[in-house]
Amino acid sequence: MESCGWAGKILRVDLSTGKVAAEPTGPYADRIIGGRGIGQWILFHELDPSTQPVSAENKLILSAGPLVGTLAPGADRLSVDFNNPQTGGVGSANAGGHFAPELKFAGFDAVVIEGQAAEPVFLSINNDEVKILDASTIWGKTTWETEDLLRKHAGDNRLRVASIGPAGENLVSGACLIVDRSRSAGRGGSGAVLGVKKLKAIAVRGRRPVQIQDPDTFIKQARICWHKVAASSAMNVLREKGTIGVSASKHVRNGQLEDWPTERFDRIRWPVWNKFEISRLACFNCPVNCSHFYKIAEGPYARLAGEGVEANTIRAFGTNLEIDYPPAIFKLSTLCNQLGIDIDFAGAVLGWAFESYQRDLVSSQDTNGLELDWGNYEAAIQLLEAIAHRRGWGKFLAEGVREAAKALGKGSEDWALHIKGADINESGMRHDKAWALGISIANRGGGHLEGAPLLLRLNASIAPDISNRLFGVTDVGPINSYEHKEKMVFWQQRLKGAFDALGICYLLSQWYGLDALGIEDLVPLFESATGRNTSAEELMLYGQRIHNVEKAFNTLHTDISRKDDYPPVRFMRERIESGPFAGEVIHEEEWNNLLSSYYAIQGWNPETGLQPDSLIRGLGLDSVADKLMRHGCI
Ligand code: SF4
């Protein structure tokens, strides 16, 4: 029978042998739906615990959920799952754009990349025709050059390309895969995983429709969702202002401060909104068009054009480094896309480097002549390029702040902002306790996109009945209190898992606003697309399963446990000096209590933060528990 929703096949590519094969998606979809679910399932079950992340034995799975490529709004997400070079544990990143729908149109729900090529190659997928081709002429090129050359080579402007840049080729730990020029599967080091495999790019073109089981019902529900997104006030802000519109991020001087003069912040925001933007872009089938396309007309970066000054860009390169010259921030952001570096990684590493210089722990002799004074954007640009190419002092920074601080010592660990080894670029962790929890307990290492709640930060008023339905309490308390924050994070993580499994953009979800898409909205979409019955509770359960498979991966491959679920020491020792949250800090005792409450709601061991056998089996994950048991991890 023809598969509906799912394309029906998973592609396996062994770069060591050159073997290419397809297998049915069905058995995986039955267990864990798709997208991030399938990626994590394959990763957990197929990787030996002795696998090194930057090695031929690692696998990287690109996957698209069953709604990807359909008329559902924001049905565009590509999940990228791998053993994480930064933490040694689970890696999972997510990108928008048009690559994932194209993969479905080519007839595949996922591509599993295995082994290691002897020489640089790229993967060409043109419907059923899959080839591993020589990449010697594109190795060394930026992601933008790679995309242009592959399109030219194929004679097809609609070819969709995911590629690594020089950072990935040079195995920089924060290197990432870039899709459609500026959509990054940012977190975790996917670029280094592909770099060691010598896989420069994956180019895909497909011409098959995604089959829908009940088209009339599906189109009706897709329309309802489109209207809901169009009417959402949260989505309108996102459309008009991009992610900058809702996140007044103040992560200043590598997190020393959280207060910045409004006029300096506006010096960045207003030109970005009012001067440089020339158009809006959207991912596949998205009504929000949150991506803004900019062009710089004058100055040292004149003619620079592209997408993406986002909230995290301003955080990483604006407030963090005290750069208030928007073209320079745009230049740094563009460089990250071209070189294939995660912006959050870059922000953390540059912040640590600048602060170490300011504290006289390194000199301009160490930095190859660069003077790392706050605001020196030319130095930041040169240092970023040096990191991507592992040149000079850049080589020292290429492993991220945990390793750099270990090597430098002299107390520099205190301002090395990472969680579990994953460099972070986050604001507001000291006062926003739910946000801090979601970031700190993320399986992939620090980051807010695995379950850090945004609602309180957006000043959303949560009606008691809605709060009760979502979190099980009528009032979750103020943003800076610890009470009930574990409930918010637990809900958020499951919601994110479900959206990722189906392939819908998380920005369209109730993460961003209660008037956006909820899990209930996805039930009729999933049912009419696939013909499978489900419920909101079941989709949330799938989200929980995915999160637990990832957690189990960490247990199997690392010693990550309760001791690693803490924010960077800076946020626990240094109070906010000024601004609306002056005096806030994360208190150790309250944090310990919050962690225990969180483990309790997850059903994990409060002492260790690890999963008991009964919990994993109770979630229907017997094969996960069996593997943990075989390896003595449970
Ligand atoms: S909200 Fe933005 S990131 Fe999400 S699908 Fe739409 S355009 Fe893409």
Residue 13 Cα to ligand 1 midpoint, Å, equals 29
Q: At what angle do helices 343-358 and 326-339 cross, to 10 degrees?
A: 120
Give the atom of ligand 1 at the shortest distance from the alpha carbon of 506.
4
Residue 520 Cα to ligand 1 midpoint, Å, equals 20
Helix, strand or coil for residue 60?
strand
Helix, strand or coil for residue 501?
helix
Give the atom of ligand 1 at the shortest distance from the alpha carbon of 74.
5
Q: Are 612 and 552 in contact (CB under 8 A)?
A: no
Phi-psi region of 516 (alpha: psi -120 to 50; beta: other; left: phi over 0): beta
Give the atom of ligand 1 at the shortest distance from the alpha carbon of 183.
3
Domain 241-423, what fold?
1.10.569
Residue 410 CB partners (closer than 8 Å, separation 6+): 361
The string of DSSP codes covering 287-348 is SS--EEEEE--SSTTTT-EEE---HHHIIIIIITTT---HHHHHHHHHHHHHHTB-HHHHHH
Smallest CA-to-CA distance from 412 within 367, 355, 374, 346 is with: 355
- At the fourth CATH level, which superfamily is domain 9-205? Aldehyde ferredoxin oxidoreductase, N-terminal domain (3.60.9.10)
Residue 367 Cα to ligand 1 midpoint, Å, equals 38
The rounded distance, in Å, linking the Cα atoms of 548 and 337 is: 31
The rounded distance, in Å, linking the Cα atoms of 391 and 368 is: 10
Domain map (residue ranges) of the chain:
9-205, 241-423, 433-630
User: What order do you get walking across the sheet with 291-295 strand by strand?
Assistant: 277-281, 291-295, 305-307
Q: Which of 241, 291, 502 to mutate to test the pocket of ligand 1 (most atoms within 8 A of CB)?
A: 291
Residue having the nearest C-alpha atom to atom 6 of ligand 1: 286
Helix, strand or coil for residue 71?
coil
The secondary element (H helix, E strand) that includes residue 14 is strand 9-14
Residue 237 Cα to ligand 1 midpoint, Å, equals 13
The rounded distance, in Å, linking the Cα atoms of 310 and 57 is: 35
Residue 238 Cα to ligand 1 midpoint, Å, equals 9
Residue 285 Cα to ligand 1 midpoint, Å, equals 9
Give the atom of ligand 1 at the shortest distance from the alpha carbon of 286.
6
Residue 580 Cα to ligand 1 midpoint, Å, equals 31
Smallest CA-to-CA distance from 3 within 28, 24, 17 is with: 24
Q: Which of 286, 309, 454, 510 to mutate to test the pocket of ligand 1 (most atoms within 8 A of CB)?
A: 286
Residue 161 Cα to ligand 1 midpoint, Å, equals 18
Residue entry with tokens 């729900």: 109
Q: Which of 505, 509, 511, 517 to mutate to test the pocket of ligand 1 (most atoms within 8 A of CB)?
A: 505
Q: Are 392 and 342 in contact (CB under 8 A)?
A: no
Residue 456 Cα to ligand 1 midpoint, Å, equals 22
Give the atom of ligand 1 at the shortest distance from the alpha carbon of 281.
7
Q: Tokens for 198?
A: 């010598």
Give the atom of ligand 1 at the shortest distance from the alpha carbon of 73.
5
Residue 275 Cα to ligand 1 midpoint, Å, equals 22
Give the atom of ligand 1 at the shortest distance from the alpha carbon of 290.
2
- Residue 332, CB-side half-sphere exposure with 13 Å CA sphere: 34
Q: Are 109 and 38 in contact (CB under 8 A)?
A: yes
SS3 content of the chain, % helix, strand, coil (to 5): 45, 15, 45
Q: Which of 288, 292, 512 to mutate to test the pocket of ligand 1 (most atoms within 8 A of CB)?
A: 288
Q: Which amino acid is at 604?
A: W
Residue 46 Cα to ligand 1 midpoint, Å, equals 32
Number of H-type helices and E-type strands within the chain: 24, 17
Q: Are 545 and 553 in contact (CB under 8 A)?
A: no
- DSSP bridge partners of 178: 163, 184
Q: Tokens for 98?
A: 């048009």
Confidence (pLDDT) at 247: 59
Residue entry with tokens 């977190």: 187
Residue 286 Cα to ligand 1 midpoint, Å, equals 6
Distances (CA, A) of 516 to 126, 466, 570: 36, 14, 35
The rounded distance, in Å, linking the Cα atoms of 451 and 54 is: 27
Confidence (pLDDT) at 310: 87
Q: Which of 238, 290, 496, 517 to mutate to test the pocket of ligand 1 (most atoms within 8 A of CB)?
A: 290
Residue having the nearest C-alpha atom to atom 5 of ligand 1: 74
Q: Are 187 and 449 in contact (CB under 8 A)?
A: yes
Smallest CA-to-CA distance from 68 within 405, 606, 499 is with: 499
Q: Tally the residues of the chain.
A: 634
pLDDT tens digits, 448-481: 999 999 999 887 789 999 999 999 999 999 999 9
The rounded distance, in Å, linking the Cα atoms of 633 and 625 is: 9
Q: Which of 76, 182, 293, 511 to mutate to test the pocket of ligand 1 (most atoms within 8 A of CB)?
A: 76
Residue 458 Cα to ligand 1 midpoint, Å, equals 18
Q: Which residues of the chain have pLDDT under 50?
A: none
**Residues lining ligand 1, Cβ inside 6 A:** 74, 76, 96, 282-283, 286, 288-291, 505, 507-508
Looking at domain 433-630, does it have CATH number 2.60.34.10? no
What are the backbone dihedrals phi and psi of residue 335, each rounded to the nearest 5 degrees, phi first? -60, -40
Residue having the nearest C-alpha atom to atom 4 of ligand 1: 505
Residue 503 Cα to ligand 1 midpoint, Å, equals 12
Q: Are 485 and 476 in contact (CB under 8 A)?
A: yes
Q: Which of 506, 507, 510, 512 to mutate to test the pocket of ligand 1 (most atoms within 8 A of CB)?
A: 507
Q: Tokens for 625?
A: 């528990």
Confidence (pLDDT) at 1: 52
Residue 622 CB partners (closer than 8 Å, separation 6+): 616
Residue 506 Cα to ligand 1 midpoint, Å, equals 8
Residue having the nearest C-alpha atom to atom 2 of ligand 1: 290
Residue 282 Cα to ligand 1 midpoint, Å, equals 6
Residue having the nearest C-alpha atom to atom 8 of ligand 1: 283
Confidence (pLDDT) at 356: 98
Q: At what angle do helices 343-358 and 401-408 cross, to 10 degrees?
A: 20
